[in-house]
Amino acid sequence: MKKLFLAGIAFIALGAGSSALAADLRVPYKASPPVVETWSWTGFYVGVHFGAAWGTKQQTITTFDTPPVPVTQSSHTVNGWLGGGQVGFNYQVDR
């Protein structure tokens, strides 16, 4: 256990000392990378959307309050569509 503790202390001491030595090294000149222009979301846009749905509803209604028992049956179809559009302009302030 004592050897493990001393090895840990030595490891920490060597790690701390190497950064101080590295501060004295000369750093070679390196040109900065070229600036790449980022994508801009600024501009006009136009869009459309469309959707449709269909279905059938069948029901049977039975009432028990009056004799004879009347039974009502019905069936309904449901069809429809939806459509629209968008027009706008985005302006990106900070690039």
Q: Is the peptide bond before 68 cis (omega within 30 degrees of 0)?
A: yes
Closest C-alpha among 24, 44, 48, 35 to residue 90: 44
Closest C-alpha among 86, 61, 59 to residue 71: 61
Terminal alpha carbon distance of the chain: 57
Half-sphere exposure of 94 (CA within 13 A, CB side): 0
> The pTM is what?
0.35
Confidence of residue 11 (pLDDT cuts 50, 70, 90): confident
Half-sphere exposure of 6 (CA within 13 A, CB side): 3
Confidence of residue 3 (pLDDT cuts 50, 70, 90): confident
